[in-house]
Amino acid sequence: MDDNTLLVLADPADPQLAMLADLPEKTGIAVGNSPEAFERAAPDASAIFNWSGSSALLREVFAMAPKVRWVHSRSAGLDNLLFPELVESPVPLTNGTGVFSQSLGEFALAAILYFAKDFRRMIRNQMAGRWEQFDITEISGQTVGIVGYGDIGRAVATRVRAMGMRVLAVKRHGPPLYNVDPLVDRIYSPEHRIEMISRCDYIVASAPLTPETRGMIGEAEFAAMKPSAVAINIGRGPVIDEDAMLKALTGGRIKGAGLDVFTHEPLPEGHPFYRLENVLLSPHCADHTADWLEQAMRFFLENFERFRKGEPLRNVVNKNLGY
């Protein structure tokens, strides 16, 4: 079916929107960052593409589009977009899961190596012109625990396995016995995450933010970590209780933290994380490769072709679970 009307929630000046020219000629497109931009097209719209719109805008536009049959979000995280009307509707929601996972897996590996080889000390000595030999850690044989073993978690597991590391994971549902994941030595249920965390040298949080995962790594989890453990967050900031993490970092209860996501973004000026020597801080850009936006747009275009042909969509979200 070629006669589709698409509503794109975005700044019309975003350069990646030029790629929408690859859509079939009969596709009607309305682009804007206010409800007024969609007043004429919304009543007949069949799909909504939230490229960079707010949750409030998506909610308002969704209410304006009674014929919509598909909603796609550029981002993988959906914690701010799942308003009740969308969750309760039969309209499928898809997201950008998998588009950015490889780069996030690389960041996790980089953070592991950063602490194992003490790159901060190397750089500090280099800048001071100081020749000072010191011992470093070999990561081969060490254990990585992944909290939230989805697409990002698998990207992490693939990379650390190649370095000779052991992988444990927390996942709501483990694989059936006939389909055990070869990347993971053992999968734990969320209720047994403290047991897993106590065994790990590195704990990577890659879970989506849902009511179940908010604060999933808190005081009890940090108390269970080895003093030499490093916490790494590449999922959503609030999955880790930042107050509990800050106490663990400043009190020397854990070795360090590699963080790409935070409870409040941008991280407020003067936040202790900026000053801590045992924190590697990335301003939520670990997946910002030179072409990350083009990749996100290409994924949408591929999914739109499936939608147009009536084929199964990729990355259909369980709206009740939030991922």
Query: 3-state DSSP call for residue 298?
Result: helix
Judge if the upstream peptide bond of residue 266 is cis by omega within 30 degrees of 0. yes
- Is residue 265 part of the annotated active site? The answer reads yes
Phi-psi region of 252 (alpha: psi -120 to 50; beta: other; left: phi over 0): left
258/24 Cα distance (integer angstroms): 44
Q: Which of 39, 85, 212, 265 is catalytic?
A: 265
Q: Hey, what are 253's tokens?
A: 């209860």
Catalytic residue among 166, 236, 242, 308: 236
Choosing from 161, 271, 284, 298, the catalytic residue is 284
Burial of 247 (0-12, 13-18, 19+ CB in 10 A): middle
Judged by DSSP in three states, 43 sits in: helix
Is 242 assigned a catalytic role? no
H or E element: which one contains 204?
strand 202-205
Q: What is the DSSP letter of 27?
A: -
The Cα–Cα gap between 239 and 218 comes to 9
The yes-or-no answer on residue 236 being catalytic is yes
User: Rg of the Cα trace of the chain?
Assistant: 22
Residue 73 CA: distances (Å) to CA of 28, 69, 80, 97: 19, 14, 11, 10
- Residues with a catalytic annotation lie at 236, 265, 284
